[in-house]
Amino acid sequence: MFTFLTAGESHGRCLTAVIENFPAGVEVAAADVDRDLARRQMGYGRGDRMKIERDACEIFSGVRERKTLGSPISFVVWNRDWVNWEKVMNPEDNDPEQAAGKRITNPRPGHADLSGALKYGHTADVRNVLERASARETAARVGVGAFARALLRHFGISVCSHVIALGEVEAPAWSPESGTGLSRISELADRSQVRCLDKEAESRMIGRIERAKEEKDTLGGVFEVVVGGVPPGLGSYTNWDRRLDARLVRALVSIPAVKGAEVGPAFDNAHKPGSHVHDEIFLRRAGEPMSGHPGPFYRKTNRAGGTEGGMSNGEPIILRAAKKPIPTLMKPLWTVDLSTGEPVQASTERSDVCSLPAASVVGEAVVAIEIARAFLESFGGSNLLDIDANYRHYLKRISGGHER
Ligand code: EPS
């Protein structure tokens, strides 16, 4: 099983990740990882921290001449802000005055601060919690995601994302009928400051962020992740923990501040009769192009969001994730001072007004990781050539006898 671990505090020296059981022979250059790291740093509404950081990965092991070796992969993303925190976040000695100046005892409502401080015994300084509970961690996951994407790319599987709601401003969700291909979604979203495909909604979103900034408030929203080129049968109906839809939702909700996720229009479907929800099945004619849908069957609609019975069904996988507004408010809410028990205003450490566009890129990464895992479970081998052979055999088998 391809697994990974990330480590690192937001204002520590670096973020790091170790990836295990990743097959040999996958082409990955540091520049591929850096491209995704840079995309995660963009977005209207981010705070001054992103002006300091220029995220780039330094690969330490598991890759040689831009090809994975099959051995553990490790990489580091250095925090440029470290120079400002060396005397506060040092694993050895800190400057007592500087560390005291950065001590936090007023936990923010909506953040990990309070529960984390109680759980790990950090009530004397909540910084010990928030440094790791920071969304900075997602830079490492985006790095891991870049490796997963490199594997998927080889098999024609691509992952893209865009923002469909920011605060109360909404933009259309993607549907195959829209005629916008997946690479076009990426292109347009990457060009937009809020990753929104709709120009009119984009400018209203930017205006909304401006207003939130003036009001010293924060905003969340909804982003959509679409995966194309997925073969039918990833995941499994045989056991609860192998269900692909459940795994993808879990992956999305593991992103800080993401509180809900759905596969396809799940919440809308819940209000409709079955005849308006399920996608009729058609057989492709011999020689008919697959148009990015591996396998012999296809649907004219995709209301299931590309999964049925806990497995991919060969249609694009469509996921939506809801992110709550960031808890660090410049006009703070009330809380309790953990050192005195007195009511106080919550801490107002520098933060973003809205990090939804960044979360959307993180969404691509966590989804790519989960799809890559499910792919390797079905077709896995230690070397890409073996996986390739397994996959081709599978596609041939599922097409067998069905061509007209
Ligand atoms: C974050 C607070 C801000 C964000 C940070 C997440 O950092 P700082 O306190 O240094 O200004 O910029 O996000 C990142 C650093 C990042 O790379 O995404 C928080 O409290 O979660």
pLDDT tens digit sequence for 210-230: 999 999 999 999 999 999 999
Q: How far is the CA of 22 from the centre of ligand 1 (A)?
A: 29
For residues 339 and 130, what is the distance between their CA atoms, to the nearest angstrom?
17
Residue nearest to atom 21 of ligand 1 (CA): 134
Q: How far is the CA of 93 from the centre of ligand 1 (A)?
A: 24
For residues 381 and 20, what is the distance between their CA atoms, to the nearest angstrom?
14
**Is the Cβ atom of 162 under 6 angstroms away from ligand 1?**
no
52, 53, 352, 361, best to mutate for ligand 1 pocket (most atoms within 8 Å of CB): 352
Q: How many other CB atoms sit within 10 Å of the CB of residue 272?
A: 11
9, 13, 48, 49, best to mutate for ligand 1 pocket (most atoms within 8 Å of CB): 49
Q: What percent of the chain has pLDDT over 70?
A: 98
State residue 404's pLDDT score: 42
Give every CB contact of residue 15 below 8 A, 6+ residues apart in sequence. Answer: 6, 7, 8, 76, 77, 79, 136, 137, 139, 140, 143
Decide: 78 and 13 in contact? Cβ < 8 Å.
yes
State residue 177's pLDDT score: 78
| Phi, psi of 218, deg, nearest 5 | -130, 165
Mean pLDDT, the chain, integer: 95
**Is the Cβ atom of 126 under 6 angstroms away from ligand 1?**
no
State residue 291's pLDDT score: 61
State residue 401's pLDDT score: 59
**Is the Cβ atom of 47 under 6 angstroms away from ligand 1?**
yes
| Phi, psi of 326, deg, nearest 5 | -60, 135
* Domain annotation for the chain: domains and CATH numbers: 3-399 (3.60.150.10)
**CA nearest neighbour of 75 among 152, 145, 153, 151:** 145
Q: Band of the pLDDT at 290, cuts 50, 70, 90? A: low
Decide: 245 and 310 in contact? Cβ < 8 Å.
yes
Is 50 exceeded by the pLDDT of residue 191?
yes
Task: State the angle between helix axes of 138-154 and 384-399 in degrees (0 to 180), rounded to the nearest 10.
Answer: 60
- The mean per-residue pLDDT over the stretch 114-121 comes to 98
Cα dihedral value 77, 83, 88, 89, nearest 10: 20
For residues 12 and 93, what is the distance between their CA atoms, to the nearest angstrom?
13
| pTM confidence score | 0.96
Decide: 6 and 130 in contact? Cβ < 8 Å.
no
pLDDT digits (tens, 9 = 90+) for 243-254: 999 999 999 999
Decide: 154 and 141 in contact? Cβ < 8 Å.
no
Q: Band of the pLDDT at 338, cuts 50, 70, 90? A: very high
Nearest atom in ligand 1 to the alpha carbon of residue 40 is 18
For residues 189 and 183, what is the distance between their CA atoms, to the nearest angstrom?
10
351, 353, 354, 360, best to mutate for ligand 1 pocket (most atoms within 8 Å of CB): 351
- The mean per-residue pLDDT over the stretch 325-349 comes to 95
